[in-house]
């Protein structure tokens, strides 16, 4: 399943941008009481970017694993204005450990760090997402 086909993400307008990451265009459904981007919309983009990373970084696992978000931590840095963009960072050592554990045990966790930036390219929030991934076959 494509992350943009997840009903909640699709309903809120998450799209794959030209850089290959996820973005969230500014629209009425993502506004807060200050007419800026709601904190929940920022979280949605960050969490979705983590899931999208799993799909794109490990294409050979698509359809063979069940990824579930186990833990999340997010820090809001400043108000977000306009369209939002995401950037994912995962250490190579974390990827290696994840793949080794998944091969050995059939399940593993991986930590995915995500930054969300607004139209002024300012980081508006940072998130840490721990994904539990289990082989289905």
C-alpha pair distances (Å), 130 with each of 11, 51, 52, 71, 124 = 24, 10, 14, 5, 20
Q: How far apart are CA 49 and CA 11, in angstroms?
A: 16
Mean pLDDT of 46-51: 95
pLDDT tens track for 82-96: 999 999 999 999 999
Q: Where residue 123 falls among pLDDT bands split at 50, 70, 90?
A: very high
Q: Where residue 19 falls among pLDDT bands split at 50, 70, 90?
A: confident
Q: How far apart are CA 14 and CA 96, in angstroms?
A: 29
Q: Are 111 and 133 in contact (CB under 8 A)?
A: no
Q: Count the neighbouring beta carbons within 10 Å of the beta carbon of residue 90.
A: 17
Whole-model pTM: value is 0.92
**Where do the domains of the chain lie?**
3-135
Homologous superfamily (CATH) of 3-135 is: Hotdog Thioesterase (3.10.129.10)
Query: Which residues neighbour 38 within 8 Å (Cβ) at sequence distance 6 or greater?
Result: 30, 31, 32
Q: Between these two residues, 122 and 28, which has the higher pLDDT value?
A: 122
C-alpha pair distances (Å), 133 with each of 53, 105, 126 = 13, 11, 22
């Amino acid at each position: 399943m494509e992350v943009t086909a997840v009903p909640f993400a699709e309903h809120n307008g998450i799209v794959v941008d030209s850089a290959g990451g996820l973005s969230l265009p500014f629209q009425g459904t993502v506004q807060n009481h200050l007419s800026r981007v709601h904190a929940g919309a920022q979280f949605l983009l960050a969490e979705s970017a983590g899931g999208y990373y799993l799909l794109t970084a490990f294409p050979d696992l698509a359809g063979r694993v069940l990824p579930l978000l186990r833990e999340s931590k997010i820090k809001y840095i400043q108000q977000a204005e306009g369209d939002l963009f995401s950037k994912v960072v995962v250490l190579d050592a974390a990827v290696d450990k994840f793949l080794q554990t998944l091969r050995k045990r059939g399940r593993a966790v991986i930590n995915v760090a995500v930054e969300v930036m607004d139209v002024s390219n300012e980081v508006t929030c940072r998130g840490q997402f721990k994904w539990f991934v289990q082989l289905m076959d």
